[in-house]
Amino acid sequence: MALWFMVLLALFAIGESQSTTSFNQTDLQAAMTDMRSRSYFGFVILLKILNSQPNSLQNNDLTFLMPNDEELSHFSIALDQLHDFILSHSIPTPLLLSHLLHFPNGSVVPSSVPSRVISITNSGRTGLFVNNARIVTPNVCQSSSIRCHGISAALTFDNMVRFHRAPEPKNHPPMNSNVPNASTSVKKMSMQPLQ
């Protein structure tokens, strides 16, 4: 009797995990349909390649920042770098343009790659910038929980602040642990979508 109960429990768990996966896949498919409708075919192809690899896209609560096809055609991406490229072009929370416009000028938010951050600059008449790229097609994804915006260039991160803890200097007392580090402060600020 205990064995039968364990088999039923295992089947229930497998069914639950498959329904969760299909829901996430449905959400991603809806987002890719929206991307295709606005001619972001190259980004859709990269998402399909990445999604074919196991455990590559685990979170559907994302905002993708999508370079257009012409920009992608000039950019070299090795297959082993695709995961980092796509995730560095995403913010790990769904944000509409109206949310991004409420961030203070110069805000820094984490990308989905922990060591890379995205700076938000509102230049008024010239537009909203994320790092080196201007948002040119806002709110592309409307049919799923995934949000996406077209940008004018692939993001660069060369001179950007990176969130990681520097080693403590030797023979010096440790820093005050009551002072929050920049990573914690930014994550608290940036991960709260505005209502």
DSSP for 36-64? HHTT-HHHHHHHHHHHTSTTS------EE
Report the range out of 36-45, 71-80, 149-158 with the highest average pLDDT: 36-45
Q: Does the pLDDT at position 8 exceed 60? A: no
Burial class (CB in 10 A: 0-12, 13-18, 19+), 150: buried
Q: Does the pLDDT at position 17 exceed 60? A: no
Half-sphere exposure of 195 toward its Cβ, with a 13 Å CA cutoff?
0
User: How much is the pLDDT for 9?
Assistant: 33
The pTM score is 0.69
User: How much is the pLDDT for 60?
Assistant: 75
By the 8 A CB rule, do 161 and 182 touch?
yes
Domains detected in the chain: 29-160 (2.30.180.10)
- 167-192 pLDDT tens trace: 444 444 443 434 333 333 333 333 43
By the 8 A CB rule, do 173 and 166 touch?
no
- 61-86 pLDDT tens trace: 899 999 999 999 988 888 889 999 99
Q: Which two tokens stand for residue 11?
A: 């089947």
